[in-house]
Amino acid sequence: MSARAARVVHLDLRDRDAAEAADRVAELLHTAQDLELLLVVDSASAVVRHRAAFEALDASRQVSKLLCLVAGRPPAAPAAPGTDPAVLRLPGNIQRRALWVIEETGVDWPLRAAARARRRDGRDGDGLARLAELLRLPALFERTHRVLGEVPFGAAVPGLHLAGHGGTGQEDFLLALRAAIRRALDPASPAPPERADEGARGRVPVRFTAGGDLRRAFDDAEHALAEAREAAVELPGAGALLRELPAGAAVRDAGDRLGALRDRLADLFGAVPDGDRLTDDRRAAIAARGVEPPPPEPFEPRPYRDGLHAWLADGLRRGVSLPRLDHDLRASAAALDGRGGHARRLRTACPGDLLDGLRAPAPMAPPQPWLPAAGAAAAALAGLSPLGVAGGLVMALLWTALVALTVLRGPGGRIADHSSALGLNAFAALAGAIGGGVAGDTGLPPAAWAAAVAAAVAGALAVVAQSWRSRAIRWGDETGLDRAETALQDMRHLLGGALADWARLNRRLDTVDELNALRQALAGVREELVERAAKLDADDFGRPARSPLRYPEAVQSWLGDLVTEAVRGAPHGERGEQAGPHVRKAAQLLIDDWEHAVERGHAPEAAPFVTDSRPVPLIDAEDLAFAAEQAGHDPAGEMWQLCAPEDLALLDTAPEPRAVRFAPRSAGGAAGLPPGTVAVPSAAHCGVLRLVPLHAGVVEWTWSEDDDGGSVEAGRDGRTA
């Protein structure tokens, strides 16, 4: 899995003649497999004829360590118990590398010559298969290879003490992988980490082209609005009643100028459609419309991509699911892709109803309904003079003329439009004049009637002036000049924002492409994980070994590393739409290799894509005592010996037994296990492998052979003749 991690390759030569065995070896040597550790299974009846195949393996220099499991009985078995043992003929080049499984069912037997052996009932399965399963764990294979080299006479019959239920640990791994995939596909997950995206940057200065129409349009609109504002400010004054002030014309001109500016900006924004890149042709079109195009900001895809992958890896380590990551990426891409829209914002900044109101301002409001009462009062006061009714009529005429003047001087004012209001004021003043004249017949002192006439004139002028001021201010407010000035500023800001957006437009679109490419890649991974989850749900893993919670959590973290590795090689840029199928295939290959490696006995954390390869305990501290007890089993005690009761005479019980102890990685580490215990990456294995030597003369190592099994130039006891 890593650069140095070996795998145990399995080669079955049973039921093969010499030529077939040689062909199988030649075929194996021409594959791309790493053959550093090779486990060969052969039959006792044919292994001697496969000498050439073993020589080819040794000569290839591809095999560093080889173990051969020899299964079954030799052609010439003992005639009866107690007689001289038959010779097991083995090729000399597998000396100190051979384990003889005489019978697969085996017996329960303590390592004592006089001890009674009990046949097993086969409930624990095939002994040869269980042994081969153990030796597919690389660490256990290498330790067995070393210990077997110390066994007298170069071969041994294995015995087993097994506490686990078997397997390579793949069942535990697949169960944890299935749970990790479910969490990776669950939309309900922690929020992804914050990511630095394309945010607001400094504004780009607006530089108009020399003599351009756009600058002139801004200046004209600003000047026209200033004149309209000045006219609107002067209009409420009394002077506007004495001389005509063209306030309406100034407002209409401001509307025309503002509309012309909006049209030029709309033409400018139309030169760079939303979502399109800023090409040289579009830069020239911007310049032709009166503004210098900004220099484009550079985009460096590799640093941005590395940052995006770092964000992805961080999110996966935090347990963020693929749907949640996709949602965040989609929102970011939509926010970036939604920028622009300058023409739409232009219509918002300077809406059509504003321009319509400026180009055709409403007439000034008619005289207020309370004016006739004031006119009647003024005429009545004037009627108190010695002139009587005649004096009141003069004041009534003056009042009516003043009210008519406010209509004529008002923007859009026409007498015909306000005839009813003027008639009402004239009638009220006439009535007041008659009433005042009748009251004046009583004869007022000169001072009294003089004061009344003065009050009538002054009051009439003051009331008419206030009426005019109120209506003029209201008209100025209703023209929309305040909105127009705001619109002009908004259009200035909008132009600056458009230039800033155009400066980073290509960079923004490149960023969107990167985000969408990552989304496509994650979609490919998600499709593969959905299919893989369905397959794992359909498989029956049986009873899992006990594993702490940290192991499934670690597998989830390693799955995140796998996703990051698969995504890293995804196509980008214009080929981003191909990322999904490409990454799905990459994820499929990575998961397949991962599963196969674990099946062969490799630790899951030894995968090349794993960033934190620290071993994860497979059993908790409370299970350590049981593991230590099983791995510390006495090699001389009762064990599952892979032979029949009648074969025990072939075994030499005198030497101290060689043993290989093994146990799962534990929370307590190797400190709580017997010295020399091999830590295996599987909670399914715990126990002892015992290697029992054979008596001298049982094994005959051959260095040449003939097809008839005739003369053999050989030696016994590990020595050549």
pLDDT by residue (tens digit) across 94-130? Answer: 999 999 999 999 999 999 988 999 998 777 778 999 9
197-252 pLDDT, tens per residue?
655 556 788 899 888 899 999 999 999 999 999 999 998 888 888 888 888 899 99
Nearest Cα neighbor of 494 from 204, 197, 201, 198 is 204
User: CA 611, CA 609: separation in Å to the nearest integer?
Assistant: 6
CA distance linking residue 439 with residue 210, whole number of Å = 77
Q: Residue 199's pLDDT is what? A: 52
Q: Which of 53-57, 271-275, 474-478, 502-506 has the lowest mean pLDDT?
A: 271-275
The answer, yes or no, to whether residue 51 has pLDDT greater than 60, is: yes
List all residues 6 or more positions away from 588 whose beta carbon is below 8 Å from its beta carbon. Answer: 528
CA torsion through residues 334, 337, 340, 346, sign: negative
List Cα–Cα distances, 415 to 367, 404, 407, in angstroms: 11, 7, 7
Are 663 and 125 contacting, i.e. CB atoms less than 8 angstroms apart?
A: no
Q: What is the pLDDT of residues 504-544, one digit of tens each?
A: 888 888 888 889 999 999 999 999 999 999 998 887 655 44
Amino acid at 223: H
* DSSP state string for 598-656: HHTT--GGGSTT-S------SB-HHHHHHHHHHHT--TTS-EEESS-GGGGGGB--SSP
Average pLDDT of the chain to the nearest whole number:
84
Distance CA 379, CA 423 (A): 15
Of the candidate ranges 202-216, 423-437, 545-559, the one whose mean pLDDT is the lowest = 545-559
Q: What are phi and psi of 107, to 5 degrees?
A: -135, 160
The 3-state DSSP class for residue 8 equals: strand
Enumerate residues 6+ apart whose C-beta is below 8 A from 567. Answer: 309, 312, 518, 521, 522, 525, 583
In the three-class reduction of DSSP (H, G, I as helix; E, B as strand; rest coil), residue 417 is classed as helix
Q: What percent of the chain has pLDDT over 70?
A: 87
Q: Which helix (H) or strand (E) holds 700?
A: strand 699-702
User: Is 39 in a helix, a strand, or coil?
Assistant: strand
pLDDT digits (tens, 9 = 90+) for 125-137: 789 999 998 998 8
Q: Which helix (H) or strand (E) holds 25?
A: helix 18-29
Q: What is residue 667's predicted lDDT score, i.e. its pLDDT?
A: 46
Q: How far apart are CA 378 and CA 648, in angstroms?
A: 144
Residue 166, phi-psi category: left (phi > 0), alpha (psi -120 to 50), beta (remainder): left
DSSP conformation class of 646: G
Alpha-carbon distance of 489 to 505, in angstroms, equals 24
DSSP helix, strand, coil percent of the chain (3-state; round to 5): 55, 10, 35
- Contacts with 544 (C-beta within 8 Å, 6 or more apart), sequence order: 171, 172, 175
Which of left, alpha, beta for 279 (phi over 0: left; psi -120 to 50: alpha)?
beta
Query: Where do the H-state alpha helices sit in 504-638?
Result: 505-538, 550-568, 579-599, 621-631
Q: What does the pLDDT average to over 137-165?
A: 90
Q: Which of 285, 235, 290 is nearest to 260 (CA)?
A: 290
Query: Residue 9 pairs with which residues in a beta bridge?
Result: 38
How far is C-alpha 41 from the chain's CA centre?
48
Query: What are the pLDDT digits (tens) for 245-302?
Result: 888 899 999 999 999 999 999 999 988 877 678 888 888 999 999 999 988 888 888 8
- φ, ψ at 633 (rounded to 5°): -55, 140
- Yes or no: say if 468 and 406 are a contact pair by the CB < 8 Å rule: yes
